[in-house]
Amino acid sequence: MNKNTVLAWATTIMIVVGIGLIALGAFRYDDVAGWGFASVGIGFFAIAWVFNALKGRV
């Protein structure tokens, strides 16, 4: 595996984890903890976006 493949896998895994965290925040926790889970999930999306932008440049 080269660096681009590793970044692609990292991006995919982070998107899946981000969707899971947002789903936890939306469906499992109805109080303030749900907002925390959802915001961390959005943070995972932001980091996955950076990993995707780094493909081909590293």
- Residue 10: closest CA among 46, 38, 57, 52: 52
> What's the pLDDT tens digit per position in 1-49?
888 899 999 999 999 999 999 999 999 998 899 999 999 999 999 999 9
For residue 50 the two structure tokens come to: 């950076």
The pTM assigned to this predicted structure is 0.85
Buried b (16+ CB within 10 A) or exposed e, 9-44: ebbeebbeebeebbebbeeeeeeeebeebbeebeeb
- Rounded Cα distance, 58 and 47, in Å: 16
Domain ranges, ordered by start, for the chain:
3-54
